[in-house]
A and B are shown apart, each in its own frame.
Chain A
Amino acid sequence: MSIFAFTTVLILLWSGSFQAPALSEKRAVAGAQRILASELDAELPARPFADWFRQLVGLQAGVNWQLSECGEQPGMLVAQGRAIPACAEVNALLPDGRKVVVMIEVGTFEKGITGNPSFGHAAIEHEGELYPVRRLRDLPESLREPAALRDRYSTKLVALNSNLHLLTPGENVGEALSGVSANEAVPPPPAPRPTPTPAAKPAPPPPETRKVSEGVVRGNAIVKVQPIYPASAKKVKAAGSVQVQVIISEDGRVIEATIVSGHPLLRSAAVDAARKWVFKPTMLSGIPVKVESALTFVFTLTE
């Protein structure tokens, strides 16, 4: 019997029909609606999240639930062989034009529902600006006092013009067309202005330096400087990628740049370029922090 079962499993695996269960939108959304708000944030009442949210936004708001992506850049995650996080998204359009979005993490698109739903992130869109809501407990206050939003951190909505690639005759068309991704091309929003509110609890001191992935740190770059290909390297046809470890100060400047790997003849050019990059300050709980990351430069020889 056990041999039979083992064989069956083997056949199923081999035939590819033994697949992870597909993520059911109905189940995922129902789970997020039913979970107690207190389980998403201990300071909220012990009542179903959907009821709490509906009362918060009011009966006049147009509320919509759906399954949604909640991670950053899922295409990148796929390329790295990682699962894409799935969220039950609830968005509400208030009669005054404000929009509230709350993302509740429910699992991944590949594995289905995993564990209990948890608070992912939330934001309020108001007069063309996006305001992050870091904790679910902050949402009621943010909605009650719209003016307070202006004192918090805001992100301007993406400006269309910053994504466009201009081509002039003679320019390399292929390069201009392949371009950079929308997010790379968008100048980052202005540096957030930390303005502590009197009622806010003092935040714990942030750790000395935070490690951040290259993808994230590149997304925060305001000034990107490409290295100059050294003539000496060109002569010997030295090419390839050079990785530089960078430490970025609280105000977004590169204060340290050290070589991790790469051709010796290309290293100094990469370090020189990395030192000139400027980033949007990275915020942690509203406080700018020092960041450690890497920048990789690719040197390609052309005819």
Chain B
Amino acid sequence: MLVGRKRSLDTLRAQRALSVFLLIAFFILAFNSNIFGQISTAGETDQGQLHGGIEIDSEGIKAAVIRVSDIAQGSGAEVIYTEVFNTALTRNQNGKVTSEAIKAAGQAILRFYTRMRQQHQVPPRQIHIIGSSDLGADNLGELAKEVRSGTGVSMTFLSLESESQLSVIGTIPRRYREGTTWFDNRSQSIVIDIGSNKTKGGYQQLRQPLLGDPYYDFVAVEIPRGTVSFTNEINRAVGEDAGINKFAAGARALSESSIKTPLRDELKKQPGLVYRKKIYLNGAIVRAMMTLLRPEDRQSFLPLTVDDINIFYQRAIYSPQVLLNPSLSRIRNDEVRKEVERELEVVRSAFTPKSLIAGAEILKAVASEYNFQEEGKKILYVRFSNMSSILSYLLLRAGEGPQP
């Protein structure tokens, strides 16, 4: 089912305003990452300005509330609440999410929903619940039913293409500056997201049909392997009881058929992606890598290199315990240290040494197949990227005006 079929002149004007607003809003968000994770009081806010969103993907559930002051004027959006609940919504061998996992997700969603209603006073019609394309299970109808019975909200499931679009707009700043000159950023960038079950990519490409008008295509690239599914695959191949070295050898052996070949196949269909010079790298394994290797670096956009990936890979195999317990001695600020400790806890609870190796193998494969080492390429970890889809979605919904 699709929305937005009618396009009156007013709608078009509103959409133009929204497009401009989205670009400005994300540009602001991109350079003010410290607004993420903060909670501020709504104060005298008009409730109509508040929009809440809950996103479910295979790694967990994310919630956000934004306050939009005047979208038509593009005067700004403020993130007033974000929260993440880590839960595994991965599929079982039958391709289904277990009923226990669905129940747990339903309860967490209801908690977020209630908080949005009671603490942040978000009108119920302005709370949206979306499901990531990453979920991909056969019984998502049961999840939708559970969510609806608890909250009364009908879920929206994103297609890969929709998600790519939300991710590109939400992650890649529109432009960047060198000296006094501004350059377009999106036309030379790609997003790559290594999730639990899938590795996804996306980029914006101007296209001109043979007849008709030009348009921006949000190209989506996907391979059906992520950190968790690849870990499971290796475990099946080498046995659950295999030691680290045997597991690592299994990962290396499977990388060609399970990761590299599908990546190459995607590249054949979308050859332009390998020529993009900026790579925005996201996903839990990337977050884990940067938290473990460089916990003291707190920039919103953290540059990394292929060497970082190789070091991460080596440490995951040869000294996983050292890797999982990095020194925080260079962090002087107590607040920052506490934040890093929280992040480290999340990493330790989400990853085992084996899943770190599996994730590192995927990272290595992506880096080699998509020529990350090529001169002039810049790789960036985006700290707030896990919230990019839900925030893009909320801004979009906010731009549609008061909900019916």
Which A positions have Cβ atoms within 8 angstroms of B?
Answer: 25, 60-64, 66-75, 78, 84, 86, 89, 91-93, 95, 99, 101, 103, 109, 120-121, 123, 127-130, 132, 153-171, 173-174, 176-179, 181-183, 185-187, 189-190, 192, 210, 212-213, 216, 219-220, 280, 282-284, 291
Which partner residue on chain A sits nearest B14 by CB separation? A159
- Contact partners of A69 in chain B: CB under 8 A: 205, 207, 270-272
CB distance from B192 to the nearest CB of A (A): 17
Across the interface, do B1 and A171 meet the contact criterion of CB distance under 8 Å?
yes
The number of residues on chain B lying at the interface, defined by a beta carbon within 8 Å of a beta carbon of chain A, is 74
B4 contacts A283, CB within 8 Å? no
Which residues of the other chain, B, contact A190 by a CB distance below 8 angstroms? 7, 12
Q: B207 contacts which chain A residues (CB < 8 A)? A: 69, 71-73
Cβ contacts under 8 Å, A216 to chain B: 209-212
20 other A-B residue contacts (CB within 8 Å) besides A157-B216, A185-B159, A186-B215: A25-B275, A66-B277, A70-B208, A72-B207, A75-B269, A89-B206, A121-B208, A128-B23, A158-B215, A158-B216, A159-B4, A162-B4, A182-B164, A182-B165, A190-B7, A190-B12, A216-B210, A216-B212, A283-B212, A291-B211
| Contact in complex: A177, B212 (CB < 8 Å) | no
Partner of A282, one of B12, B138, B211, B271: B211
- Report whether over half of chain B's contact residues are helix, strand or loop; otherwise say mixed: mixed
Q: Which of B133, B181, B188, B392 contacts A177 (CB 8 A)?
A: B133
Known contacts: A130-B216, A212-B210, A282-B212. The answer to whether A166 contacts B156 by CB under 8 A is: yes
Q: Which of A129, A163, A178 has the most CB of B within 10 A?
A: A163
Q: Specify which chain A residues have a CB less than 8 angstroms from the CB of B164 in the assembled complex.
A: 182
In chain A, what residue has the closest Cβ to B130? A164
Q: Are A167 and B154 in contact (CB under 8 A)?
A: yes
Q: Is the CB of B187 within 8 A of A166?
A: no
Give A124 to B12 CA distance when docked, in angstroms. Answer: 18
- The residues of B that contact A99 with a CB separation of less than 8 Å are 184
Determine the chain B residues whose CB is within 8 A of the CB of A185 once the complex forms: 2, 159, 161
Q: Are A167 and B272 in contact (CB under 8 A)?
A: no
A165 with B276: CB separation less than 8 A = no
Q: A75-B269, A158-B218 are in contact. Are A187 and B208 (CB under 8 A)?
A: no
Cβ-neighbour of A179 out of B159, B187, B268 (below 8 A): B159
Residue with the greatest number of chain A CB neighbours at <10 A, chosen from B166, B217, B400: B217
Instruction: State the CA gap A67–B180 with chains docked (Å).
Output: 25
Q: Decide if B243 is an interface residue (CB 8 Å cutoff).
A: no
Indicate whether B253 reaches chain A with its CB closer than 8 angstroms: no
In B375-404, which residues have CB < 8 Å from any A CB? 392-393, 396-397, 400
In Å, the complex CA distance between A300 and B54 comes to 36
- Docked Cα-Cα span, A220 to B22, in Å, equals 26
B240 in contact (CB, < 8 A): no
Q: How far is the CB of B269 from chain A (nearest CB, A)?
A: 4
Residues of chain B lying within 8 A (CB to CB) of residue A25: 275
Q: Which of A60, A157, A159, A174 contacts B181 (CB 8 A)?
A: A60
